[in-house]
Structure formats: C-alpha cells, structure tokens
Amino acid sequence: MRTSPHPTPEAAPAFNFGAGGWRCEEVPLADLAARYGTPLYCYSRARLLSNYRRLAKAFPAPARICYSVKANPNLSILRELAAAGAGFDVVSEGELWRVLRAGGAASRTVFAGVGKTRSALEAAIDAGLFMLNVESLGELGQILDLAGGVPSGHDALPVALRVNPDVDPGTHRYITTGKRENKFGLERDSFRTALDMLRGARGVHLAGIHAHIGSQVGTTTPYAEAVERLLALVAEAREAGFAPEWVNAGGGFALSYDGTEVPSPAAYAAAILPPLAEAGLKLVLEIGRAIAGDAGALVTRVLYVKEHADRTVWITDAGMNDLLRPSLYGAWHRIWPAHLPESSGAGEISALKPVDVAGPICESSDYFALGRPLPPVHAGDCLAVFDTGAYGMSMASQYNSHPRPAEVLVDGCEVRLIRRRETLEDLVRGEEV
C-alpha cells in the first residue's frame, strides 16, 4: 500500500493507494464517485481528529484550541471536533449558530470578525461566549452599549482586544492580516483608547489580547514576533489596572501542499508557549487549515480531454465554484487520477505530459492546474484534488448556477453523507417570481 507523498508524521493517513485505486481511509474514491456522484468532497474522520489531537498534545491545557469554523463549517465536522474537546472560533452570527446547532459549547467559543453586526453582537452576548474579540473602537462602543444593558447578576462579558501587531507573516497577500495596512484589529493608539473605554465599564471585562497575523504561515518566527508585541500590550494593560489572563495568538499554522516542510505543532508551540508561561498567561489558538486541510479531497470527473492551442486541457466537472483557491490565490493543490498509483516506480506510467486542468466555469481563471505533468486519462476518469478539506466547500458557490457538491465523511470502511448534493431546486430557493 502506498500513502500520500507528504504524510504528516504521527497523523492518521487520510488518503492512500490500495485496492480500488486512491482511497479515503478504506474506501476507493471511485466507489464514492459512483455512489454519490461528482464533484464530491470527501473527508477522513481519522485524519481530522488526529490533526486536532496532535495540536492538543503540543498545546496542552490550560491552552485552548478553537477550531476555526470558516475552514470547514459542516455540522458533522463541528460535531466530531466538539466531541473531541475542541473549542471554536467563529466570525459571524451564522457560524455561531452552526456551532451551537452542532452541540459545540458557547463557553469554549471565541468570536472574531472585523464587521460584526448588532444582531451578531446580541447573539454573542446572549450565548455566553468564552471571549468576544473586539476589532475597532466603534465596535467596542456598541458592545459597551449592549452589555451595559445586561441585567446585573449576569457574568461580565469577557472581551479580548484584537490588535494589529504589524508583523509580516510571509504568506500570500490576500491572507496576510497582521500588517499595519490590513484592516484588522486595533492600532496601538486605538488600543490605549480601548483601555480607557473599558475602564469602569459595566458588564464587560478585559479577558485577553488577540492577534491573528495571517494564514498558511510557514515559519514560526512571525508568531514569536507577534507574541512579543502582544506581551508588551499585556504589560500596558496591566499597568492600566487590568488583569488579562489570555493571549489569543490566532490561527494560521501551515499545511504542506507540495511536500515542502512546514513547522510541526511542537515547533510552533516552542515559539509561542514559553514567553506566555513566563508572563503568567494562558494561550488560545484559532486553527482551521491545519485541522481540516489534509483531511479532505475533492473528487471530480474529467468530462472532456481537449487538445487546444498546443495544450492538453482536461475539462472537469468541478470548477472554481467548487474550489476557489487556485483561481483566487494561485494556490497549488496536488491532483492525481483516482485510479492510478503515483508515478515513482510505477511502470505503467510511461509518460507524464503537461496538462491544464480546467473547470466548466465561464472565467479564464477557472483552472486547478496549468502545465501540470500528469499521466494520461480518458474522459470519464476521476481525479482527486488533495488537501481541500479547508477553504474548499466553505468557499464554494453556485456561480454559473451549478448546484454545490455533496460531502461525505469516511470512517474506516464506513461512509456518511454529511451534506447532500444540491438540486436545481436549491438554486432558486428563496427567489420570488
């Protein structure tokens, strides 16, 4: 049996090549495609949970790992993680609603987001969150207004001030969030003003300081820098008479999409935990990609093989509407025919030829790969687009009026449909004529 070329050590293998071709745990992708149709997202339960457990081991209590719901908000994914002990990181009233609906605890949920509506703030205050992350002075004003009206006897609302540490995470500019020019968090002066606003405020207490510097952060140094800056702000808050207990260092741990080495959870922990422990602070993390990313693959069928302008183009039934990352960020995902072993040592694959893997959408950026060396396939064959468990389905749309894909969760040789394929009726749900 062959496994993924870049398995994470200690983690349960999600995808492997064995009887029936590429499989998710014990189930051939081709069987899943035949049973549930394509495009199809499939997730390995074992991998999802082992990714979470590796993090929980590297960051033991009192540190708290909050799963970032935006990465993959499916109720079944949330339920599995809640049962494993995860907290949650939400950024909208909808995400909070999902968490509660999935049985997640509000008391383990943090709420970030640069544009929280009044109704979201009310829902957050009602729910009894672990921490509400404040992104601007205007938002703090609204929170004070709302929390001031909460009848006394209720616990004060724990808030964290999200600051912008002006640290370069060295990632794609669309997913860089902690540089000064990014819209997120409070600048230093605003931080001071926020402390002034919180002083003597009713119904609210400063529980922590928060920063999220970006996503797919492939080195530990930016975290060490961010923590240093956060500690300076904690010191300032302490001098001003506050006693924040928590530092929320956000998310962003990287996933190796192409086999290049990324830091292990333990390596991130070594950069983040010691300075916090020394300052008597507890850590919160908001991790999405590193929990869900490599637990998922998108299975798509080749509709046509087209020779075009001296190129070979495979037109697949999945497109940027199902998986936006390649079109939006130029992201690289490993793609391989579901029935063929990897090239190394496999005699039957005599020639890899550069192909463009293109979706059906009427946009010139609708490609999963350009000039990618791949073994020949025929129309009707299935491809696996790996490492799409995070920011795959969660960013899918019905663009060009394609119903969104189905999702399945695989547990050994068992398969659970966790979201049915959308129908044409779903396309017009809510519309009026």
21-27-33-39 Cα dihedral, nearest 10 degrees: -100
Among the listed residues 134, 391, 404, 406, the single contact to ligand LLP using CB under 6 A: 391
Only one of the segments 7-15, 191-199, 211-219, 418-426 lies at the binding site for ligand LLP (rule: CB under 6 A); that segment is 211-219
Among the listed residues 38, 51, 68, 316, the single contact to ligand LLP using CB under 6 A: 68
Residue 215 binding ligand LLP, by CB under 6 A = yes
Residue 112 binding ligand LLP, by CB under 6 A = yes
Q: In angstroms, what is the minimal distance from the CB of 186 to ligand LLP?
A: 14
Residue 51 binding ligand LLP, by CB under 6 A = no
Residue 325 binding ligand LLP, by CB under 6 A = yes
Q: In angstroms, what is the minimal distance from the CB of 407 to ligand LLP?
A: 17
Residue 288 binding ligand LLP, by CB under 6 A = yes
Q: Is 362 a catalytic residue?
A: yes
Does residue 42 contact residue 407 with C-beta atoms inside 8 Å? yes
Residue 175 binding ligand LLP, by CB under 6 A = yes
Among the listed residues 30, 42, 71, 86, the single contact to ligand LLP using CB under 6 A: 71
Residue 410 binding ligand LLP, by CB under 6 A = no
Q: Which pairing describes strands 282-287 and 246-248: parallel, antiparallel, or unpaired?
A: parallel
The separation between the first and the last C-alpha atoms of the chain, rounded to the nearest angstrom, is 55
Residue 289 binding ligand LLP, by CB under 6 A = yes
Which CB atom, from 143 or from 284, has the smaller least distance to ligand LLP? 284
Among the listed residues 39, 250, 359, 375, the single contact to ligand LLP using CB under 6 A: 250
Residue 73 binding ligand LLP, by CB under 6 A = no
Only one of the segments 140-148, 249-257, 307-315, 341-349 lies at the binding site for ligand LLP (rule: CB under 6 A); that segment is 249-257
Structure-token pair, residue 417: 């449909």
Among the listed residues 87, 104, 158, 251, the single contact to ligand LLP using CB under 6 A: 251
Q: In angstroms, what is the minimal distance from the CB of 243 to ligand LLP?
A: 24
Radius of gyration of the chain (CA): 23
* Active-site residue (options: 24, 42, 66, 362): 362
Which CB atom, from 71 or from 406, has the smaller least distance to ligand LLP? 71
Cα separation, 337 vs 352, whole angstroms: 12
Among the listed residues 158, 222, 252, 326, the single contact to ligand LLP using CB under 6 A: 252
Cα separation, 297 vs 159, whole angstroms: 37
Which CB atom, from 68 or from 316, has the smaller least distance to ligand LLP? 68
Which CB atom, from 283 or from 415, has the smaller least distance to ligand LLP? 283
Only one of the segments 47-55, 234-242, 248-256, 423-431 lies at the binding site for ligand LLP (rule: CB under 6 A); that segment is 248-256
Does residue 252 contact residue 244 with C-beta atoms inside 8 Å? no
Q: In angstroms, what is the minimal distance from the CB of 213 to ligand LLP?
A: 9
Residue 286 binding ligand LLP, by CB under 6 A = yes
**Site residues for ligand LLP per CB under 6 A:** 68, 70-71, 89, 112, 175, 177, 212, 215-216, 250-253, 286-290, 325, 329, 390-391, 395
Which residues are known catalytic residues?
362
